[in-house]
Structure formats: C-alpha cells, structure tokens
Amino acid sequence: MTKKILIVDDDRYIRLILQKKFLSQGYNVFVENDGESGLELAKNEAPDLIISDWMMPKMDGLEFCKLAKQDEKLRFTYFIILTARDTQDDKVEGIETGADDFVTKPFNERELLTRVKAGLRINSLQKEIAELQHQKAITELAMTLGHEINNPLGVMMLVLQVLQKKDDNDAI
C-alpha cells in the first residue's frame, strides 16, 4: 500500500517542492497551508507521516502536532516539524509537544527524505506491534474462553461417567 504523507506549510514554494519530491518517490501526498485545515485533512486521510511548518496562520505547527497526537486515529502518525527556528530550546519545545523529529530550514532534501523514510519505517513497526498485540489479546481471550467452557464440560462428563457406572451397577 502506498504511504500517505501530509505536508502543511504556509509557504507555497515549500509545499510545491516537497510535494514534487515525495510524489516522485511514489508517495501519496496531500498538502495544506495552515494547521487548522491540516488537522481536518489529517483526520480524514489518516496519513502515515506529517511534515508541518512551525509558524503558520490560524494554528501553528506545535498546536497542530499536539492536537494530532491527542486524536486516537493520528496518535501514532510520525510528525516532523519543519522550521527556521533552530535553537536548542526550540528543538526541545517541539519534541516535548509531541513531534517525532525536527528539521530546520533551509533543509537538505536528501536529509529530509532520509528522515521521512526512517519515520515511515517507525510508523510501520508501530502498526505491526499494535497488530501483534491485538492478535495476542484475541488468542488469550480464546484460550480463556476455552478454559471456561472446558471446566463445566469436564464436570458434566465426570457426572455422566459416574451416572453411567451407577446405571451399569444397578443393571447387574
């Protein structure tokens, strides 16, 4: 299945560059120009990865990230903050808000693509772990139900054997 990437940036030029780059890599790409509409699109499309600018109108990238991570459908979506802000405090703030990675502008396209690929691998592994946990829970439930059903059946079989022996003894 083709991986979905959402790009949210108020700079049209950045959106076009990233859209073209990721489309050429075979990804399904969606774009928005602010966090508010980006969040709505993310809820509808459930992308595997989001790249968002920090400073945007209506809703900035950190608020967008925070709200996305609170959404059950989006909480495991890999989130990269893309920004011109590059102090250590900015990076810490971005990660503490819930971002999974932080890339400063101007960015190196090759580095960003590598980070995106790593993020998509992490996203795939998280989904795989969640599926394995789900399968394990179902198996444990089935075993518990089997045990709960077998216990009364075992007692009934024992009672039937005792009754059959009593019936056989009465026949003699």
Q: What pTM value is reported for the model?
A: 0.76
Predicted pLDDT at 145 = 65
* Closest to 99 (Cα-Cα) out of 65, 68, 140: 65
Per-residue model confidence (pLDDT) at position 152? 72
Quickly state the pLDDT bin for 123 (edges 50, 70, 90): confident
- Cite the beta strand spans of 54-159 per DSSP E: 78-83, 101-104
Amino acid identity for residue 169 in this structure: N
What is the spatial distance between Cα 160 and Cα 165, in angstroms, rounded to a whole number?
9
Quick one: average pLDDT of 109-125? 92
d(CA 127, CA 74): 12
Q: Are 73 and 58 in contact (CB under 8 A)?
A: no
Residue showing tokens 């949210």: 8
What confidence category does residue 18 fall into, taking pLDDT thresholds of 50, 70 and 90?
very high
* pLDDT band, very low/low/confident/very high, at 162 (cuts 50, 70, 90): confident
Give the helix/strand (H/E) hosting 166: helix 109-171
Tell me how far apart the alpha carbons of residues 157 and 76 are, in angstroms, rounded to a whole number.
Answer: 49
Q: What is the pLDDT of residues 60-94, one digit of tens each?
A: 999 999 999 999 999 889 999 998 887 888 888 88
Strand partners, 4: 28
